[in-house]
């Protein structure tokens, strides 16, 4: 993750732009159709928040926005959300590598949010060449480390709530 941010900083420095704030949403600079950059993610474990989802999806390129849909009354996750990338190639990589990705007790389903529009844009050659170097794909070990960290965070939450000293007999 830090390597990506360093690459992004170096690229922006070459272009004379100010470095981006980590996690800040930025408008797309690629001119690519939004349909090729906007993804829907289904089967998100209800304990995963937007920050955790961002960390997972940022491995495939710069994310413009993340939204986990929640119930209006209870504010609990409804198990799906949206990820919008700055570049269509990043979105395509996320679909390729994260569709079917095991996360806790579920497998993510990742696809274009507007499938018909995306298909039409792809047929018309709507995916421009990325204006930044490709981000290295995380290997299986990195994915396993991230999944283990998320599971550990999940396991720690109930323990912290129920943390009471054991009673001796």
Q: What secondary structure letter does DSSP report for 87?
A: S
Instruction: Identify the residue whose tokens are 């993340």.
Output: 66
- Bigger pLDDT: 64 vs 128: 64
pLDDT tens, residue by residue, 143-160? 666 666 666 655 555 544
Dihedral angle computed from the Cα positions of residues 20, 28, 92 and 70, in that order, rounded to the nearest 10 degrees? 80
Dihedral sign from CA coordinates of 27, 89, 34, 98 = negative
pLDDT tens, residue by residue, 87-106? 999 999 999 999 999 999 89
Residues contacting residue 45 through CB under 8 Å, at least 6 positions apart: 77, 79, 103, 104, 105, 106, 154
Predicted pLDDT of residue 76: 92
pTM here is 0.61
Rounded Cα distance between 117 and 28, Å, is: 18
């Amino acid at each position: 993750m830090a390597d990506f941010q360093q690459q992004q900083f170096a690229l922006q420095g070459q272009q004379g732009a100010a470095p981006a704030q980590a996690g800040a949403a930025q408008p797309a600079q690629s001119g690519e159709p939004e349909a090729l950059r906007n993804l829907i993610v289904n089967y998100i474990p209800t304990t995963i928040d937007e920050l955790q989802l961002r960390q997972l999806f940022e491995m495939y390129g710069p994310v413009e926005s993340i939204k986990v849909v929640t119930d209006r009354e209870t504010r609990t996750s409804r198990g799906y959300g949206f990820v919008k990338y700055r570049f269509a190639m990043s979105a395509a990589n996320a679909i390729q590598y994260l569709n079917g990705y095991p996360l806790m007790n579920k497998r993510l389903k990742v696809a274009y949010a507007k499938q018909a529009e995306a298909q039409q844009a792809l047929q018309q050659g709507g995916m421009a060449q990325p204006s930044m170097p490709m981000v290295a794909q995380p290997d299986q070990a990195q994915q396993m480390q991230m999944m283990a960290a998320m599971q550990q965070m999940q396991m720690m939450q109930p323990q912290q709530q129920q943390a009471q000293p054991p009673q001796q007999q």
